[in-house]
A = this chain, B = another copy of it.
Amino acid sequence: MGAQLVSLDLGGTQIRTARLDEHLNLLQRYDTLTLAEQGLDTTIDRIKAAIMQVLPQDGAPIAGIGVSAPGALNPQTGVLVAPPNLRGWHNVPIGDILREAFGVPVYCGNDANVAALAEVARGAARGFRHVIYITVSTGIGSGIIYDGRLLLGREGLAAEAGHMPLVVDGGRVSTLEKEAAGPALARRARSRLEAGESSALREMAGGDLSRIDARMIGQAAHAGDALAREIVAYGGFCVGLGIVSLLHIFNPDVVVIGGGVSNIGDLLFTPMWETVKRYTLDEAYWRDLRIERAQLGGDVSIVGAGALVLTHGGQADVTQVIHILND
């Protein structure tokens, strides 16, 4: 048996841990509640206990621990700056804490970066060297694999494509995320309903427009509702423009789209592709391009955190690690 590794997916609600083999197959998993409201120390104890649960029972060594966490973090130092949904966490050196507790290397990654690695390692972008991963959910995050390596930047703050500015509506500065993430789609639907437009969404929301979310809009769009379709198409257009920027900047092989909003499917992807074709400088940017839906679903962070260990925090070429795996 080759090296084993441990993954930690740290979320606001759940702590998930797993032990994987060096092919990133799951050997064991454990889920528990984060209980962030009980304070930082409690959550850290729960994290350590959750890791203990998946360590090899025979005492075999592990190669390292990979950590996927939300929000800004410094991948070099393993400090979580201010993870959303983890109240009271500010500049927590989770890397050092786990390194000290378990005596193994610890690699930390932002959840979107980790997902990008995972999709290259075992998902929709398997084996490609130039990959853009975009997640469209309550926010818009991204992870970028450039020439097989995770793009981090000087302090690990890179690959935040959701915060690219777009100037809209007579000079207002907005961003890709503010225009096209789930809450933006919901807000747009609500404001048009409040202005009196008719739509199946009004009935679906049972008269309470605050209940409208991107999932409901997706359902209405699939049922043929014109307003919902228009809003989904605008989301696809905006994400498409974001992709246009990223194609001109990175000239990648593959763009992978994940996150809840991507489940809307073709109604989102068709206008996205049309926008890509229309607004790129030359068809060379999209002729051989793939735009794929993310494949890994709920396990993406666990698999990606394992890939973080195998690639030493994304700094080794993930496609070479895979090459070794496939041999």
Residues of chain B within 8 A (CB-CB) of A248 are 157-158, 160-161, 163-164
Within A120-162, which residues are at the interface with B (CB < 8 Å)?
129-130, 144, 146, 151-161
Nearest-Cβ distance from residue A165 to partner chain B, whole angstroms: 4
Residues of chain B within 8 A (CB-CB) of A165 are 166, 241, 244-245, 279
Instruction: Pick the contact of A164: B153, B156, B249 (CB < 8 A).
Output: B249
State how many copies of this chain the complex holds. 2
Scoring A residues 256 to 288 as 1 if CB is less than 8 Å from chain B, else 0, what string do you get? 000000000000000000000001111011000
Known: A154-B253, A164-B164, A164-B244. 7 other contacts (CB 8 A): A156-B251, A164-B245, A164-B248, A165-B241, A165-B245, A167-B241, A169-B170
The number of chain A residues touching the other chain, given as a range, is 35 or more
Interface contact A155-B251, CB-CB below 8 Å: yes
Interface contact B245-A281, CB-CB below 8 Å: no
Complex-state Cα separation, A135 to B164, whole angstroms: 20
Nearest-Cβ distance from residue A162 to partner chain B, whole angstroms: 8
- Of all chain B residues, the one with the shortest Cβ separation from A315 is B147
Complex-state Cα separation, A146 to B152, whole angstroms: 10
Can you list 18 residue pairs at the A/B interface with Cβ under 8 Å?
A129-B154, A144-B249, A152-B251, A155-B251, A157-B284, A158-B250, A160-B248, A163-B244, A163-B280, A163-B281, A164-B248, A165-B166, A166-B168, A168-B169, A168-B238, A169-B169, A173-B279, A246-B249
